[in-house]
Structure 1
Amino acid sequence: MRVVLATYGSRGDVQPLAGLAVRLRELGAQVRVCAPPDEEFAAQLDAVGVEMVPTGLSVRSLVTGPPPASSELPRRAADLVAQFYDAVSAGAGPGDAVVATGLFPAAAGARSAAEKLGLRYAYLALQPTVLPSPHHPPFQYPGRPYPPEVTDNAELWALNVGTMNALFGEAVNGHRVSVGLPPVDNVRDHVLTARPWLATDPVLDPWRQAPGLDVVQTGAWILPDERPLPADLVAFLDAGEPPVYVGFGSMPMRGAQDVAEVAVAAVRAQGRRVVIARGWAELGHGDGRDDCFVVGEVNQQALFGRVAAAVHHGGAGTTTTATRAGAPQVVVPQIVDQPYWAGRVAALGVGVAHDGATPTMESLSAALGEALTPEVRARAAAVAGTVRTDGTAVAADLLLRPGA
């Protein structure tokens, strides 16, 4: 059996697909991953022996470069639809299956390719707030606010249909017509389907079923990382008490040098050493003191087991990794689903949700002070043992045994 996995997004979108790809390959399936052409994604997939089909433009260059003009967005959406349609279609055939996630136009292109070729298709949510539910509101796209007088979540999701049609309907339906498919009235529900998959841990993310959706929560899709930590990092870790990790992944963190300085000062105020992850914001700290260590790409699964706490942006993958490791967390949410994960970390008692996206030395130090208490550490250690690790096995079973 052949399976095509498709995403357009950052590492948090690509790595879960790599985890599923490895599991599927172990079970004898042939797997291709359609993903952005960034070198780091290609290297990650190559390291685990998974074929990558570079699709679209570099995500890192888009995230860290100047924001696009609003007038460019319709064209970019149309390009993504067509690019992922072509990438998924290439080499696919009867009996194959398609799983798509990432930016909506990319998933829409994959959905159309599956429909055109008669392939099985599943939409994958890597976080719950993208799925319609009366228990949370939809994401507000820039320039598309919902009426302030509407506060009922069900009503907001009904309005969201119009928002998604306005943003993506022309791109999706224009391409569908061009390849001989009929247009659809509701592009959102067409792409998400009535039975989407949700690759999150049920303890960290307790999904409550919603009318009209039969969500299949598989557990988080984890790619085991066996890489050793760099020798100089190990020497730093061995040289003193566990440090605090600070990293913001793919977030550009405008004014990044200030963020690094604030973070280091906040950690030092708690009497701790610090490991700074450069990330896409290119964080660094140059005062030369030996209580600060800067790392690039590193095995977070190994590192988080050796830190006193992790300060991060609240991406689904980083939050899950820190929770699995039993590391107390301070989440400084930036966009989209990150406030949700910050709230879950706080609700579980495994860390603290920072108030706002731009920390000061005082606010971050205060949050760290709470996260570093023995009570939070004990709670984080207890919850760590409850996180499921079989998400890719569940998803592989769904793909290889459709009636499962």
Structure 2
Amino acid sequence: MRVLLSTYGSRGDVEPLVGLAVRLRELGAQARVCAPPDEEFAELLAGVGVELVPVGRPVRTFMHGAAAPSAAELARLRLAMVAEQFDAVAAAAEGCDAVVAAGLAQVAARSVAEKLGIRYVYASYHPVSLPSPHHPPARREGWPSPPEGTGNLALWDLDAQGITELFGDALNTHRASMDLPPVDNVRDHVFTDEPWLATDPVLGPWREPAELGVVQTGAWILPDERPLPERLVAFLDAGAPPVYVGFGSMRAPEDVARVAIEALRARGRRAVVSRGWADLAVIDDRDDCLVVGEVNQQALFGRVAAVVHHGGAGTTATAARAGAPQVVVPQMVDQPYWAGRVAALGIGAAHNGPTPTVASLSAALATALAPATRDRARAVAATIRTDGAAVAARLLFDAAVRERRPSPA
């Protein structure tokens, strides 16, 4: 069995597919990953022996250029990506038995699978991206705000219309060249009626009733066995557990490292600052702060007093698994959802808005660092599943076996 796993985005989009690829290989299947050609993604995949099929331009250089991309620039990029995906995904899917796509930018994958006559699965890393009467769609930058009081179902209809306006002509032009019929709802075409939801049922539950037949597998986690750097271990051993501060691939809020360090020092806390794509740095040479690069968060989060982060699905799940209280400072898309879930579960605090001040972050830290929050975080950690990628791999593998089995005479 051969499977193509396709996405376009930051590490939070790519790493879950790597976790799924590893689990598929354990079942005897072969997997390749179609993803952006960023150096760190190439290294991540090479480290586990999974083939990378590059598509599009590097994400990091686009997201962290001299200025944030405008809505118009993002729209142009998305349209260019349609053509790039059809070329890359079509070539990579040859000889495969299934295609798994993650992320709405994957507008080509289902058409390629349809043309090849192979299985197609769409997967989401957060419930809020899937249409539901229980939540509105995430706000999309550059799109007009709907009238106040618009209900969830009407908001999802507007969301579908906007996506079709953005991608419909490009998608249908490519489908026509493949002798495939046009689609009139791009979003629902990409998602299908039975999308997979790669989130933990406690941390990111899917609420019923809903029209979609969602299959919730659990989060797709790539086990990380790397040791922590000696310098980091020495820092951890030198005092009380510090607080981790990191914003991953995000354009971090302006001056956020200074804000976080001042808020933590006011509480007598040390800090581990993750450099990330925003290139965060310490503000002086005092020995109560340490900057780290890309490290094993699964090991580190078990040794910190709390995790201050942007609210990416992967970071939220890793902190929850480690029993580390969280302060989520959401920046975009699904991150407000994860901030709300952290607060609702009592395992941390949701910062109000994307730009913290020393006072606002200090108030959120007061909640996260409270003994009751620590106890609750540890209790919830015991309920978080770790087998999501294995569940998804088995679903794919078993479906392939059924499809190959000859029908009874």
> Shorter-chain TM-score: which interval?
over 0.9
| CA shift digits 1:37-77 (9 cap, x unpaired) | 00001101110111111111010111111334444444422
Q: What letter is aligned with 1:117?
A: L
User: How far apart, CA to CA, are the structure 1 residues paired with 2:388 and 2:365?
Assistant: 31
SS in 2 for 1:40: helix
User: How far apart, CA to CA, are the structure 2 residues paired with 1:253 and 1:3?
Assistant: 35
Match status 1:47 vs 2:44: no
Root-mean-square deviation (CA, aligned residues, Å) is: 1.5
State the 1:142 CA deviation. 2.5
The counterpart of 1:344, out of the listed 327, 341, 344, is 341
1:288-367 to structure 2, matched below 5 A, reads 288-367=285-364
Given that residues 218 and 385 in structure 2 are in contact (C-alpha distance below 8 angstroms), is that contact kept between their aligned partners in structure 1? yes
Moved more, 92-101 or 42-51: 92-101
User: How far apart, CA to CA, are the structure 1 residues paired with 2:281 and 2:96?
Assistant: 49
SS in 1 for 2:361: helix
Distance 1:309 1:82, change over 3 A: same
The residue that corresponds to 1:2 in the other structure is: 2
User: How far apart, CA to CA, are the structure 1 residues paired with 2:329 and 2:139?
Assistant: 19
User: How far apart, CA to CA, are the structure 1 residues paired with 2:201 and 2:242?
Assistant: 29
Given that residues 23 and 390 in structure 2 are in contact (C-alpha distance below 8 angstroms), is that contact kept between their aligned partners in structure 1? yes
Given that residues 132 and 211 in structure 2 are in contact (C-alpha distance below 8 angstroms), is that contact kept between their aligned partners in structure 1? no
State the 1:79 CA deviation. 2.2
Distance 1:158 1:54, change over 3 A: same
Could you tell me which runs of 5 or more consecutive residues in structure 2 were left unpaired when the two chains were aligned.
Answer: 404-409
| CA shift digits 1:307-349 (9 cap, x unpaired) | 0000000000000000000001000000011010000000000
Q: What letter is aligned with 1:309?
A: A
Q: What letter is aligned with 2:29?
A: A
Given that residues 78 and 172 in structure 1 are in contact (C-alpha distance below 8 angstroms), is that contact kept between their aligned partners in structure 2? no
User: How far apart, CA to CA, are the structure 1 residues paired with 2:148 and 2:197?
Assistant: 31
Given that residues 34 and 92 in structure 2 are in contact (C-alpha distance below 8 angstroms), is that contact kept between their aligned partners in structure 1? no
1:40-189 to structure 2, matched below 5 A, reads 40-65=40-65, 66-93=67-94, 96-102=97-103, 104-105=104-105, 107-189=106-188
Distance 1:262 1:72, change over 3 A: closer
Q: What letter is aligned with 2:61?
A: S
Given that residues 63 and 69 in structure 2 are in contact (C-alpha distance below 8 angstroms), is that contact kept between their aligned partners in structure 1? no
Could you tell me which runs of 5 or more consecutive residues in structure 1 were left unpaired when the two chains were aligned.
Answer: none
User: How far apart, CA to CA, are the structure 1 residues paired with 2:227 and 2:304?
Assistant: 16
| CA shift digits 1:280-323 (9 cap, x unpaired) | 11000141000000000000000000000000000000000000
1:218-297 to structure 2, matched below 5 A, reads 218-255=217-254, 258-297=255-294
User: How far apart, CA to CA, are the structure 2 residues paired with 1:114 and 1:218?
Assistant: 22
The residue that corresponds to 2:374 in the other structure is: 377
Q: How many residues align?
A: 400
TM-score (norm 1): 0.96
State the 1:158 CA deviation. 1.7
State the 1:269 CA deviation. 1.0
Distance 1:282 1:194, change over 3 A: same
Distance 1:119 1:47, change over 3 A: same
SS in 2 for 1:294: strand
The residue that corresponds to 2:384 in the other structure is: 387
Given that residues 86 and 113 in structure 1 are in contact (C-alpha distance below 8 angstroms), is that contact kept between their aligned partners in structure 2? no
TM-score (norm 2): 0.95
User: How far apart, CA to CA, are the structure 1 residues paired with 2:338 and 2:149?
Assistant: 24
State the 1:171 CA deviation. 2.0
User: How far apart, CA to CA, are the structure 1 residues paired with 2:116 and 2:68?
Assistant: 36
Q: What letter is aligned with 2:79?
A: A
Distance 1:155 1:266, change over 3 A: same
SS in 2 for 1:352: strand
Distance 1:264 1:91, change over 3 A: closer
The residue that corresponds to 1:397 in the other structure is: 394
The residue that corresponds to 2:407 in the other structure is: none
Percent identity, aligned pairs only? 67
Given that residues 80 and 109 in structure 1 are in contact (C-alpha distance below 8 angstroms), is that contact kept between their aligned partners in structure 2? no
Distance 1:277 1:69, change over 3 A: closer
| CA shift digits 1:111-166 (9 cap, x unpaired) | 11111111100001011111000010012322322422442101111222211111
State the 1:30 CA deviation. 0.8
| CA shift digits 1:209-260 (9 cap, x unpaired) | 34331000000000000000000000000011000000000111253xx111
User: How far apart, CA to CA, are the structure 1 residues paired with 2:29 and 2:369?
Assistant: 45
Match status 1:211 vs 2:194: no
SS in 1 for 2:107: helix
User: How far apart, CA to CA, are the structure 2 residues paired with 1:353 and 1:92?
Assistant: 41
Q: What letter is aligned with 1:28?
A: G
